[in-house]
Amino acid sequence: MYVRGIRGATTVARNDRQEILDETLVLLREIVARNEFEPEDISSIWITMTPDLDAVFPALAIREMEGWNMVPLMCALEVPVQGSLPMCIRLMLHINTTKTQQEIRHVYLNEAKRLRPDLATS
């Protein structure tokens, strides 16, 4: 068994509480669907947002999912690099798995597909 990282990112159209929560769930559910794991397999989830998003902690959406309340979550601000993708939410899940690095499916949605076009379709 290994601890593997799964990356994911998405964007929102505006700094709106419900939109941030909804898009966080869409992203997480897609990561789970593509990688087939359970909350019990997760070591932790690191969540970042760009500084232009401050309406809500995206971890709130995950904590409220049934079976996910014991998953360790941490939110932080993404490094504010000039010219970087705005309105972006990123997830880094650390899961316990027997999958190889090549079997892990990273997920990039909405405008975040521009961050890693090489991984956006996998």
Q: What positions carry a catalytic annotation? A: 7, 63, 75, 78, 90, 108, 116
Q: Cα separation of 9 and 69, whole Å?
A: 21
C-alpha distances in Å from residue 23, one per residue of 63, 70, 121:
14, 21, 18
The type of residue at 90 is R
